[in-house]
Amino acid sequence: MATLRQQIATTALSVTKFRELMKRMRANRPSDDLALVRKAYDFSQKHHAGQTRASGEPYLVHPLQVAMVLAEMKMDAVAVAAGLLHDSVEDTSVTIVDIRKEFGEQVAHIVEGVTKISAIDFATREEQQAENLRKMMLAMVDDIRVVLIKLADRLHNMRTLEHLAPERQQKIARETLEIYAPIAHRLGMGKIRGELEDLGFRYVDPIAYQQIHEAVEARRKAGETFLARVEQVLRDKLKEAGITAKVESRIKRLHSIHKKLVRQRIAVDQVYDLYAMRVITQSVQDCYAVLGIIHNLWRPVPGRIKDFIAMPRPNFYQSLHTSVITEDGTPFELQIRTEEMHKMAEEGIAAHWKYKDGPVSAQDEQRLAWLRQVVEWQRDVSDPNEFLSTLKIDLYPEEVYTFTPKGKVVVLPRDSTPIDFAYSIHTEVGHSCVGAKVNGRMVPLRHKLHSGDIVEILTQPGHKPSRDWLGVVKSSRSRNKIKHWLNLHQRERAIEIGRKLIEKEARKYRVALKEIKDEELQKIASDYGLGRPEDLMAGIGYGKYSARQVLARLAPAGSEPAPEGEGEKAGTIASVVRRVFGGDSSANAIRVKGHGDLLVYRARCCNPIRGEAVVGYVTRGKGVAVHALNCPNVVNLMYEPERRIDVEWATDDGTPSAYPVKLTVFCDDRFGMLKQITAVISDTKTNIRNIEARTANGQANIDIILDIADLKHLENIVGGVRKIPGVHDVQRLQKI
């Protein structure tokens, strides 16, 4: 029994907390029905009276803290009232009927949902767990406020977990890491997710937690000094460039350090992003301009630049990421985003939530759609384990799960493409896949799918798989199917080509292929280390051996090829190849017309882009290299004219594709220059892969790598940049 003194202290504490809550509500949601909140507080106080938590605190503190978390999320009065009442049905004599009578249908409905979820024991046998998760999902779909209250409840319970027995701690912490943190992540709520993860980690793996905690603490002082110094350097530069932005820095969260150490098997000092800085800008343009400034200040770590602005994460997270190394060799990570993106990254689905208008943004709609799909899909699954494993897969990012337009779920390995999706539907769908729409938008076949994507495969009867697909697909099923097809068909074609090439070449010697004895071919095949004459023909067809060389071995000594013009003109291979392959216009990765089955690739020396004049060159064994006609190497490569092959860009079928193109802008080093350049580029909706500037004597060279669709696109950008006052020249660098 609580003494009178304790009761007075309790009341004082609760009253203070309640005042804070009302203050927050008045600030965030002044037009809401705050009398409802007050009534809920009074009700909760009455029914939880005399109850204490494991910490010895009055129980009322818990619903008050939960309500406070919700108020901080800017939730409405209904949600906050439900937060105050969330444990009343479970832990007191109150029933849902009482709540409905006192607070109306909405509050009662939410409290009921939260109560149902609270009754779920996630640590039971797998089957039951699946069923429990299903129930939770259903509750979430019903009203997102249910899950937001549950997350707030879990957050406060985790914050006060120290008071529970170790066994309970373990169980609750594990559940937090396995279920609640991933759900917060999926809903884009970065702030809550981060705190849940750190708290969960502390109890689930106390030893690792302690080690990392100590390692970070040992570096904290030096780290903070370092961050303060680089922050100042960056602030000065931003000011100089006339960019208004907030700069803040932090040491990475313990749980994410831990995950990195485990995943990459490295030491704390090797974590690139132990120190992290965030720049919050006022516009998307400024994000890219800031990226340029940063790369001018410090050396970027190759491969660490990520543009989540152009390509948001599945939970709609947007930011530019880069890691740089300072002159003294310390690496740190930078995230650059706008105020709006920052809000979304921290609060996710709660960021724009207003109940009366329903979910406001299209993104919130999609998040809810994800939940609905999960529930819908589980109805088709008879085996609860299957549901559980797929749900876990979705909460954890090793695999993605995607949907057909009819809502059927297709589980694929991470980074899978529409081709993988097509093959998982049906082998024939895979073979005849020519394009795909993801969430209603056309995407390239190499596009990476994300969980929740709705994928529609476009097929064309008679279309054939391409060898390039092997570099694109992720699932072993599609790889096997493609390989199988290629082995079956491509070899046949290669043999056919090889035969034709030999025949053509033989004609120059005035010999018909028929006259060549099998034994002779067999002998040459053996010379090349091959088993049968077909292997030799296939080798010629694949471009591995030249027909001329093979023929030279066959031709009777002293015989010379007929003079040019009498037999065939130069460009023999070209004409044969084209005829045999029949000008198939299949969607090749680089989409060069006429050679669907030949391995075709863009030459590294000149990186031609769509729309440019190009020429093909049959290499030995590597397929056809496509060069820009003005590539300096073309002249040298053409000394064997028969290897030259006519190529052209396939007609645009609407499938977006982009090639990295490097430009150097020569300009005055003046105020706002970088900003104007990135403005021109972002006006054309072009993805910037990298931007770096070098300055000297009032002049600047800015290197930019862009994703360019075609020549026209490139000319547009170059033209636009050239018009900026102070820009002297823009050059395209052939080599990237």
Residues involved in catalysis: 90-91
Q: Which is nearer to Mn ion, 87 or 197 (CB)?
A: 87
Residue nearest to Mn ion (CB): 153
What percent of the residues of the chain are helix, what percent strand, and what percent coil, each to the nearest 5? 55, 15, 30
Cβ 414 to Mn ion shortest distance, Å:
35
Of 586, 387, 404, 392, whose CA–CA distance to 486 is shortest? 586
Q: Which is nearer to Mn ion, 110 or 665 (CB)?
A: 110
Cα–Cα dist 588/525, whole Å: 32
Burial 710-728 (b: 16+ CB within 10 A, else e): bbebbebbbebbeebeebe
- Identity of the amino acid at 479: R
* DSSP states of 437-475: EETTEEE-TTPPP-TT-BEEEEE-TT----GGGGGT--S
Cβ 337 to Mn ion shortest distance, Å:
34
Of 613, 685, 623, 142, whose CA–CA distance to 371 is shortest? 142
Q: Which is nearer to Mn ion, 153 or 364 (CB)?
A: 153
Of 119, 124, 116, whose CA–CA distance to 140 is shortest? 116
Question: Which tokens go with 233?
Answer: 């350097």
* Residue 122 three-state SS: coil
Q: Are strands 659-668 and 648-649 parallel, antiparallel or unpaired?
A: unpaired
Q: Which is nearer to Mn ion, 48 or 499 (CB)?
A: 48
Residues near 627 by beta carbon (within 8 Å), at least 6 away in sequence: 603, 605, 606, 608, 614, 615, 616, 617, 633, 634, 637
Which stretches of 265-361 are DSSP H helices? 284-297, 339-347
CA dihedral (643, 644, 649, 651) positive or negative:
negative
- Identity of the amino acid at 209: Y
* 370 within 8 A of 395, measured Cβ to Cβ: no
Q: Which is nearer to Mn ion, 76 or 153 (CB)?
A: 153
End-to-end CA gap in the chain: 77
Q: Which is nearer to Mn ion, 73 or 550 (CB)?
A: 73
Of 286, 205, 273, whose CA–CA distance to 245 is shortest? 286
Cβ 86 to Mn ion shortest distance, Å:
6
Phi, psi dihedrals of residue 40, rounded to the nearest 5°: -65, -40
Cα–Cα dist 180/120, whole Å: 13
Vertex 323 angle, CA 317 and 329, to 5°: 160
Q: Which is nearer to Mn ion, 153 or 175 (CB)?
A: 153
* 411 within 8 A of 393, measured Cβ to Cβ: yes
Q: Which residue has the tokens 């090639």?
A: 659
Q: Which is nearer to Mn ion, 51 or 326 (CB)?
A: 51
Cα–Cα dist 522/530, whole Å: 9
Q: Which is nearer to Mn ion, 83 or 596 (CB)?
A: 83
Cβ 319 to Mn ion shortest distance, Å:
33
* 252 within 8 A of 268, measured Cβ to Cβ: no
Of 732, 684, 680, whose CA–CA distance to 709 is shortest? 684
Cβ 315 to Mn ion shortest distance, Å:
26
Binding site for Mn ion (CB under 5 A): 87, 153
Cβ 278 to Mn ion shortest distance, Å:
32
Length of the chain: 736
Residues near 400 by beta carbon (within 8 Å), at least 6 away in sequence: 314, 394, 411, 412, 413, 414, 415, 416, 449, 450, 451, 453
Which stretches of 29-125 are DSSP H helices? 34-47, 61-72, 77-85, 88-91, 96-118
Q: Which is nearer to Mn ion, 158 or 309 (CB)?
A: 158
Cβ 157 to Mn ion shortest distance, Å:
6
Cα–Cα dist 336/281, whole Å: 7
Q: Which is nearer to Mn ion, 87 or 394 (CB)?
A: 87
Vertex 422 angle, CA 420 and 426, to 5°: 115
